Amino acid sequence: MKFSVDKHEKYVVLKLKEGKFTNDNTPKLKSEFILLNAEGHCNIVLDLSSIKQCDDSQDLSSLLFGHRLCKKDNGLFILTGVNPVVSEILEMSKLDQHLIIVSNVAEATDLIFMEEIEKELLGSVDKG
């Protein structure tokens, strides 16, 4: 699976450069999630704007995997750029109820920073 990785201090943006989710290319995506998690990245934004086709919900299992990895480390896994075809499959498989889906990367980063601020505020309350 072809993708670009844009690392920031508080989050990472993965932009897929494929037109389709398949059982052949999603294992590499899972591997990238594991690598990023091992590097200490717990907030991942996955930009799906180039994905135009997905044959079935099994191909999207990598998304749930990424979600679990981020959640385990108290982070966020956010999807952006989801087209209507993929959105329909997410709804049919009920994955949309577990994943955070926003319209663009800017909205995703805003959500991450709000979450980080909340963690810091709650942390300072707990210490006080």
Residue 66 has pLDDT above 60, yes or no: yes
Q: Which two tokens stand for residue 57?
A: 């919900």
Residues contacting 76, CB < 8 A, separation 6+: 11, 42, 43, 44, 70, 100, 111, 112, 115
Cβ-based neighbour number of residue 59 at 10 Å: 20
> Of 16-25, 103-112, 119-128, where does the model show the most confidence?
103-112
In angstroms, the CA 22 to CA 66 distance is 16
Q: What is the pLDDT of residues 22-40, one digit of tens each?
A: 888 888 899 999 999 999 9
- Burial class of 24 by CB neighbour count within 10 A (0 to 12, 13 to 18, 19+): exposed
Locate the domains of the chain by residue range.
Answer: 3-127
- Provide the CATH number for the domain formed by 3-127 in this structure: 3.30.750.24
Mean pLDDT of 15-20: 90
Half-sphere exposure of 118 (CA within 13 A, CB side): 8
- Residue 21, pLDDT score: 82
Q: What is the pLDDT of residues 74-102, one digit of tens each?
A: 999 999 999 998 899 889 889 899 999 99
Q: What is the pTM of this model?
A: 0.91
